[in-house]
Amino acid sequence: MQTTHSGSADVLTIALVGLNAHLLHVHATVEGPARFQILGLPEGQARETRVRVRSALQQVGVDVHAVNITVRLSPEDLLTSGALDLPIAVAVLGAVGRVSLEKLKSTVVLGELALTGAVRPVRGALPSLRDAVTQGATCAIVPKHNAREAANVRGIRVLVADHVDDIVRHLGEDIPLESVSKPATFVPSSTSSDMTDIRGMHSARRALEIAAAGGHHLLLIGSPGAGKTMLARRLAGILPPLTEDEALEATAIHSVAGLLSPEVGVISTRPFRAPHHTVSAAGLVGGGDRARPGEVSLAHRGVLFLDELLDFRRDALEALRQAFDEGIVTIHGARRQVTFPARTLFVGAMRPCPCGYRGDGSGRCGCSPERVKSYLARAEGPIFDRFDMRIFLPPVNVAELRGAGPGESSSDVQKRVVIARRVQAERQRCGEAPRANAELTSKELERFAAPDAIGANMVTETVERFSLSQGGRRRVLRLARTIADLGGYDTVSASHVAEALHVINLPASLASEAG
């Protein structure tokens, strides 16, 4: 085993903070009595890294017990992603003279190591390499399991390694590493859940279409078995197909969370997430020592379904405010804050009473009016006000379902949604990324969604009758604008306002419905 050499070596890697990557220099020096120390990492992480690197290097004939190895990470104040094993091992190989690092100029190295020397996959390969390109990197060495994901980064040559011995042969024996081919043109795919499965339920189907066309958050209220989950699962399939940029955004988030399969190079369908109501606030919006994304970010560019909404912890729901309002979540850690995107279409579902059977005609509901009011009063407040639409689902009529034919397919509904979104984008023409109607400001609503005289009177009367806030008035106009867009109308008329008021389900107080 090679043990005597005095030298130094420098290797580039990536420190990932949230979705933002920073170049990190790994500098290894070898001199003096036997010792192996890593400066710039917490002691616990440094100790585990030393064990893995030492064992992996022994597999290729390098005994680090007999030399003094000092590894410095610069800059030291970055909270690292933990994918430092391989770059540290390569730096040590260079410092002891086992390999030449001339080939690694402008090359970043990513990878964790097993004790056997196998190179293990890392989280966040896509955002790491994407930012590395902007910082001057022209080549990258990544674990083989990250190959499909890394191939999506343009402007950088990607090489893959399966074992630390692959690196030794590449740098010391001129045996080239396998190069990753860039993927073909991105093609979005459709979800497996289709709207044809929904028989009858015309009002609910219409609500899904409006929600998808305008990006409106939707609250479904109905008894167990009324179809709330079935409807929610089909909403993602009628949203416009993912663009390549949106797909890469979603892929980056899932990669950082460690949820991207090695067989999946890029997420090609709109995400659908349905966390259990017992989820913590950190599980919902993100958190942890290394700031991992939560469910709301994992649903970015897709749908977040909150079933049994009233059973979620209040602090978890309150943590969603920023995502509702700004499309991002900010996680405040001990050393720094991290921001993840969370532009998500929210769908909530709840029962009409504690037992769930109020109004279904079966006589099973034994909830008193006071208990129902107390239960529904929990559905008031800032979070619930952010749901643009409230749809009451009637009990399922089995006889009607038997006579009903298959519903319209998701692809047919999606075509109308895509046209409506295109109209919205053309109407704005602001040079920025187009926004759905649900995101229009007050000024834009006055410009784009002012109804005709009869419609304006309907809005005014509704605001006065139900004491709606300015937010409630804006909600009516946004929905009316989307309904008009679906119908191909340039202006908002009274009929569009009337349908908007119907899908909002005024009066706004759910508790008042229990009387």
- Give the list of residues 6+ apart from residue 486 with CB closer than 8 angstroms, or none: 209, 210, 213, 416, 417, 420
**Helix, strand, or coil here: 119?**
strand
**Helix, strand, or coil here: 419?**
helix
| 41-45, 124-128, 504-508: the lowest-pLDDT one | 504-508
Q: Residue 480 corresponds to which tokens in the numbers above?
A: 């009316």
363: amino acid identity, one letter: G
Task: Specify the pLDDT at position 262.
Answer: 87
Do the beta carbons of residue 97 and residue 9 sit within 8 Å?
A: no
Residue 495, pLDDT above cutoff 60: yes
Query: Where residue 242 falls among pLDDT bands split at 50, 70, 90?
Result: very high
Task: Specify the pLDDT at position 514.
Answer: 47
- Percentage with pLDDT > 90 across the chain: 69
pLDDT in tens, 11-27: 999 998 889 999 999 99
- Give the list of residues 6+ apart from residue 158 with CB closer than 8 angstroms, or none: 129, 139, 140, 142, 147, 150, 151, 179, 180
Q: Could you tell me which of 451, 446, 463 has the C-alpha nearest to residue 492?
A: 451
Query: Where residue 239 falls among pLDDT bands split at 50, 70, 90?
Result: very high
Give the N- to C-terminal CA distance of the chain in Å, as an integer.
Answer: 84
Q: What is the C-alpha separation between 265 and 315, in angstroms, rounded?
A: 35
Query: Where residue 29 falls among pLDDT bands split at 50, 70, 90?
Result: very high
pLDDT in tens, 296-327: 999 999 999 999 999 999 999 999 999 999 99
Task: Specify the pLDDT at position 323.
Answer: 96
Predicted TM-score (pTM) of the model is 0.92
Task: Specify the pLDDT at position 509.
Answer: 54
| 116-130, 174-188, 223-237: the lowest-pLDDT one | 174-188
- Give the mean model confidence (pLDDT) for residues 105-128: 96
- Percentage with pLDDT > 70 across the chain: 93
Query: Where residue 2 falls among pLDDT bands split at 50, 70, 90?
Result: very low
Q: What is the C-alpha separation between 496 and 476, in angstroms, rounded?
A: 10
Task: Specify the pLDDT at position 81.
Answer: 56
Task: Specify the pLDDT at position 515.
Answer: 44
Q: Residue 380 corresponds to which tokens in the numbers above?
A: 């008031």
Q: Could you tell me which of 231, 232, 323 has the C-alpha nearest to residue 284?
A: 323
Distance of CA 497 to the CA centre of its chain: 33
- Give the mean model confidence (pLDDT) for residues 439-460: 95
Query: Where residue 7 falls among pLDDT bands split at 50, 70, 90?
Result: confident
Domain 7-179 has CATH 3.30.230.10: yes
DSSP one-letter string for 285-347: HEETTTTEE-HHHHTTTSEEEESSGGGS-HHHHHTTHHHHHHSEEEEE-SS-EEEEE---EEE
Query: Where residue 406 falls among pLDDT bands split at 50, 70, 90?
Result: confident
- The conformation of residue 202, written as its DSSP 8-state character, comes to H
Q: What is the C-alpha separation between 515 and 507, in angstroms, rounded?
A: 12
Q: What is the C-alpha separation between 35 and 33, in angstroms, rounded?
A: 6
DSSP one-letter string for 465-483: HHT--HHHHHHHHHHHHHH
- Output the CA angle 161-164-165, nearest 5 degrees: 100
- Give the mean model confidence (pLDDT) for residues 430-453: 89
The CATH 3.40.50.300 domain(s) of the chain lie at: 195-434
Instruction: Name the CA radius of gyration of the chain, rounded.
Output: 28
Do the beta carbons of residue 242 and residue 269 sit within 8 Å?
A: yes
| 272-286, 378-392, 395-409: the lowest-pLDDT one | 395-409
Q: Residue 167 corresponds to which tokens in the numbers above?
A: 């690196």
Q: Residue 213 corresponds to which tokens in the numbers above?
A: 């066309």
Q: Could you tell me which of 133, 35, 129 has the C-alpha nearest to residue 83?
A: 129
pLDDT in tens, 280-296: 999 999 987 778 999 99
- Give the list of residues 6+ apart from residue 418 with CB closer than 8 angstroms, or none: 240, 241
Task: Specify the pLDDT at position 132.
Answer: 95
The CATH 3.30.230.10 domain(s) of the chain lie at: 7-179
Length of the chain, please? 515
Task: Specify the pLDDT at position 416.
Answer: 97
DSSP one-letter string for 157-198: EEEEESBHHHHHHHHHS--PPEEPPPP-S------S--GGG-
Task: Specify the pLDDT at position 65.
Answer: 81
- Give the mean model confidence (pLDDT) for residues 372-399: 86
Q: What is the C-alpha separation between 498 and 398, in angstroms, rounded?
A: 30
Task: Specify the pLDDT at position 1.
Answer: 39
Beta pairing class for 328-332 and 337-341: antiparallel
- Give the mean model confidence (pLDDT) for residues 475-485: 97
CATH number of 195-434: 3.40.50.300
418 DSSP β-pair partners: none
* Average pLDDT, rounded, for the chain: 90
Task: Specify the pLDDT at position 73.
Answer: 92
Do the beta carbons of residue 231 and residue 208 sit within 8 Å?
A: yes
- Give the mean model confidence (pLDDT) for residues 347-371: 89
Q: Residue 274 corresponds to which tokens in the numbers above?
A: 């349905």
Query: Where residue 109 falls among pLDDT bands split at 50, 70, 90?
Result: very high
Q: Residue 26 belongs to what H/E stretch?
A: strand 20-30
Task: Specify the pLDDT at position 6.
Answer: 60
Beta pairing class for 218-221 and 272-273: unpaired
